[in-house]
Chains A and B, each alone.
Chain A
């Protein structure tokens, strides 16, 4: 009887998750500002009105500029008109003729007010307010957006259902086993009250999705070890704190720009520290033990990597070459090779490709980087035989069920054993296999909670990446666009490596599944990545400005 009830609850969970996720993503779509001009520029000579659509707008002769000026005296990318906390600014981006505001030459950046005249070459532009005053262009129109409370409430119900699975995992009710999950729910409501009531935030979709995934992760871990579930809870709490700090930090673009170099140096120092202090664990040298806790610096450096890589539009236009960033990336990648952490190296490489392409638009750079990567991979296979071994077993796991294909065949076998709705939390067999709650988390989800939920989880991660992309032109700066795309790319790519590695579609590399896998530093890191997505949503900082 109990078995049947738990089974019915397991049928309800994945479909509720799909409903909540769908509501979150549609809500984020609907919450977007309409594509109306935010301000206007009037060409004084021609009396032509040029609408301005973005927070940061490149002005120039080039057809790829946001505001195209047909004037031979204007440089191809001449200046950037951008909106900041305190109003509109114009920034000259190394133009030949220079940029003037009301006749005064702009050095780096100058504020512009409605009625001011911006001169570039022979063109004069006057800043004008949008004429229809009933539309405040910066106030997002919350059409049918889901209320944060209803989303949170749905996730709460789903987590109650998961908790029931955990409580009755051993037949007799064991409420202690569900304590970590219960505390997670408490944490969620605290963050909800802080964000919505105290900070006055209007959107809560990303947090809701992250909670949904974290709850599923804790459910899996609780079935293996309640102690580990508590550790995971601590990691989630730290992750949330880091997330809020990141949102604050990212709030001021100038601060981010000022700290970029320092953060880059810090990242390199962390790698150096890692290489000096770390002991080899399971073939790779990516852990440092600090007393009772072990941390994985490379996870945190992922966040730093994005901060170093991203940039505002005026800086992108001014400093076009990528040399500094390529150098920084090379150091990171080199350190990861020395640490023998090739899975993470792949993730950094993917982040590098996204950032490099979004900054430069150069397909050549991407191809060159890929060529170097292929060459690097070839070298690794030559000099690191254990990596080659992983490649050898790839697609031949069924001939190696008791040695090098041990984990993969068990993931496949137990995933299939779970069917659509799983055998129940704590009832799986995969949990006895090494790294079940981290590298093989996808298989554990399939086995214990069913393949529908497992696929839903990874599809949510894919939609986070798509969401980051859809925000690319709406965010407050290219700084956020690039960072969000890189973060979204990392999340989905990491999910790919985890899911496809453990199911023998790709060679197995030990990487974690974002928000699900057990792991302190990696949990903190994914919350950090989520902060980039959050910051690219223009609603995130909407309230604070209204207060000012």
Chain B
């Protein structure tokens, strides 16, 4: 019997294995339970079995963007507001993965370790989320984009509050179109282009080339470039809209001369161009709270001279993420180091406790402060001498436009990125219009103008 008793110790191994497994399950339960619970298929969050409704989302002025009524998610009563806020708020099904409803599911659903998604009182346990965004401004941006696809964002670079973020095409989250997956008009409707997409930048990239020139060409302001409408590099012809004649650097940027900037990029050299782009945030993801943006791309490793030239004017393989440029505008306006945008003003639990307050955080430096100051001057000159201050009356806007050619028979990406240098209206913006049929000032510029005027007015 003694021997049998000793051999029975084999049971300990099995039981030890059991407790090890239970321990690892409980550890995951405690650390990942929130993520497990808030899956879109979970019947306790959505669907008729929802045991407790999720919290509300408000804009900065207290406008209800979405709330739970009778076990369903109900969006703002105004169609245009619903569509304009779609990509920020997100859809009910959770297809828009950058939406607040997706990323703050556990706060909205009221998940906690102790009661899970269950509400012992029967009332919603979900927290309410107040956003920094202004739904009116978003509605305006959507209205100005009209039927065109594109993106627009605007933030206060002194406080970090994101005021406007719009992406088109959109759809009505109260009744998603049935043909959303098949109709080409809805292509990209689940993407928030501000955050998740990258586009050929065209001339807005010249800000990077300019920064590289400022730091690497000592006599930049005394130099001139002969812009006769085109230049042939390596047998490849790089053209301008018109022959401008002899231009100083400032004039070259204002006219956005490809002839000048392709030569400048070649003169600075591939490795210094890449260094500058990398410093200015290319190849990096930026965060908006817990949401990560797509990374902009600039890569001229082992390229020919003409390719380097094209890259310097925002063509070749260059890609820019709108949110990245918004942050970059904030950096230039702020002397090199941006205040990172945020969109969650606060989160309040059903018992009225504010569980989270959004605050601006200082991002890493994107540009040397002396370079930022000179770039700001040049960008101010762009508006005052080229685009016209009438677009932004009294706002002292510094900006750069761009026209990224995408080929394939499509119109260009028209961009404008900039900021107001007026202390009273510290707003930075980025506007993109895809497949544009008119120039960047008349497309993106007009939208930027409306947004900046509205933001400054309110």
Contact = CB atoms under 8 A, between A and B. Distances in A.
A353 B22 CA distance: 23
Interface string B20-48: 01101110010011101101011110000
Nearest to A481: B4
A380 B32 CA distance: 33
B1 A492 contact: no
Given A412-B36, A429-B44, A488-B11, A500 B25 contact: yes
Given A4-B120, A417-B42, A429-B42, A499 B4 contact: no
Contacts of A57: 1
A455 B24 CA distance: 13
A472 B117 contact: no
Contacts, number: 170
A418 B115 CA distance: 6
A462 B15 contact: yes
A465 interface: yes
A361 B118 contact: no
Interface in A408-443: 409-410, 412-424, 427, 429, 432
A251 to B, nearest CB: 19
Interface stretch (B106-114, B143-151, B197-205, B392-400): B106-114
A489 B11 contact: yes
Contact of A478 (B1, B15, B32, B112): B1
B27 to A, nearest CB: 11
A466 interface: yes
Contacts of A423: 44, 51, 116-118
Interface in A353-398: 353-354, 357-358, 361
Given A416-B34, A423-B44, A485 B116 contact: no
A496 B116 contact: no
Given A56-B1, A469-B8, A489 B14 contact: yes
A202 to B, nearest CB: 23
B38 to A, nearest CB: 8
B18 A496 contact: yes
B33 A472 contact: no
A503 interface: yes
A416 B1 contact: no
A489 B14 CA distance: 7
A489 B4 CA distance: 15
A293 B15 CA distance: 35
B116 A66 contact: no
Contact of B37 (A357, A417, A427): A417
A482 interface: yes
B12 to A, nearest CB: 7
Contacts of A466: 11-12, 15
A313 B24 CA distance: 40
B331 to A, nearest CB: 37
Interface residues of A, number: 66
Given A420-B115, A499-B21, A481 B37 contact: no
B3 interface: yes
B18 A358 contact: no
A216 to B, nearest CB: 17
B117 A419 contact: yes
A451 interface: yes
Interface in A109-148: none
A495 B18 CA distance: 9
B351 interface: no
A58 B29 contact: no
A41 interface: no
A74 interface: no
A479 to B, nearest CB: 10
A473 interface: yes
B353 interface: no
B10 A358 contact: yes
Contacts of B79: none
B9 interface: yes
Interface string A315-354: 0000000000000000000000000000000000010011
B122 interface: yes
Contacts of B6: 361
Interface in A471-489: 472-473, 478, 481-482, 485, 488-489
Contacts of A401: 39, 41
A56 B5 CA distance: 12
B20 to A, nearest CB: 10
Given A412-B36, A417-B116, A455-B22, A358 B8 contact: yes
B49 interface: yes
B121 interface: yes
A55 B32 CA distance: 51
Contacts of A462: 15, 18-19
Contacts of B176: none
17 contacts: A3-B122, A7-B120, A313-B4, A350-B14, A412-B36, A413-B37, A413-B42, A417-B44, A419-B115, A423-B44, A423-B118, A432-B43, A455-B26, A466-B12, A485-B10, A496-B21, A506-B21
Interface of B: 1-12, 14-15, 17-19, 21-22, 24-26, 29, 32-34, 36-37, 39, 41-44, 49, 51, 111-122
